[in-house]
Amino acid sequence: MKELKYGDLAVTILDSNEALGKRAAQDFAVATQNALKNKSEISIILATGNSQLSFVNALYERSDIEWSKISVFHMDEYLGIDDKHSASFFRWMHERIELKLKPKAFYGIRGDVPAAEEIARYTELLQKNKPSICVMGIGENGHVAFNDPPADFSTKELIKIVELDDMTCRLQQVNEGHFASLEDMPLQALTLTVRALLDPETVLVLTPESRKAQAVKDSLEGPLTPTCPASILKTAPNAHLYLDQDSSALLAL
pLDDT of residue 41: 98
How far out from the chain centre does Cα 171 lie?
18
**Amino acid symbol at 99:** L
> At 180, is the pLDDT very low, low, confident or very high (cuts 50, 70, 90)?
confident
SS3 call for 163: strand
Q: What is the reported pTM?
A: 0.94
pLDDT of residue 178: 77
pLDDT at 21 over 70: yes
Give the pLDDT confidence of 8-17 residue by residue, as tens digits. 999 999 999 9
Mean pLDDT over each residue of the chain, to the nearest integer = 96
Give domain limits for the chain.
2-243
Class of domain 2-243: alpha beta
pLDDT of residue 166: 66
30-37: long-range pairs with CB below 8 Å, 24+: 31/132, 31/133, 31/202, 31/204, 32/65, 32/66, 32/70, 32/133, 33/64, 35/132, 35/133, 35/201, 35/202, 36/66, 36/69
